[in-house]
Amino acid sequence: MADFSTDIDIDPSEYVSECSHSEIIELIEILVEDGHLDRFNGKVRPSSNHNGVIDDEWKEGLSKLFYSKHLLSSEDEIVITNIIKKLV
């Protein structure tokens, strides 16, 4: 018997738009299990396993912010606190 393969190019947004709600939930669970997404406080976010230059710059910036708290004005602290409350 002949062995052959067929490549099909499907845009991810087209695929997802055709999925039912339960299929999308299943897809998210697969992405979490495969390490493409992480869970944080019950929310799903991109996995930290896929570091890139932007991720590294982000982490470096957060580290600098953490160690420079004494340089922030009280208004800056309020803004950062509000961002944290919104996300967590």
pLDDT in tens, 24-52: 888 888 888 888 777 765 667 666 655 56
DSSP 36-71: SEEEETTEEEE-TTS--HHHHHHHHHHHHHHHTGGG
The answer to whether the predicted template modeling score (pTM) of the entire model surpasses 0.85 is no
Please identify which residue in the block is written with the tokens 């409350």.
85
Q: Hey, how many other C-beta atoms are within 10 angstroms of the C-beta on 27?
A: 13
Q: Supply the pLDDT for residue 75.
A: 94
Higher pLDDT, residue 48 or 12? 12
Amino acid of residue 54? I
- Which of helix, strand or coil describes residue 34? coil
Q: pLDDT tens-digit profile of 50-85? A: 556 677 788 888 888 888 888 999 999 999 999 988
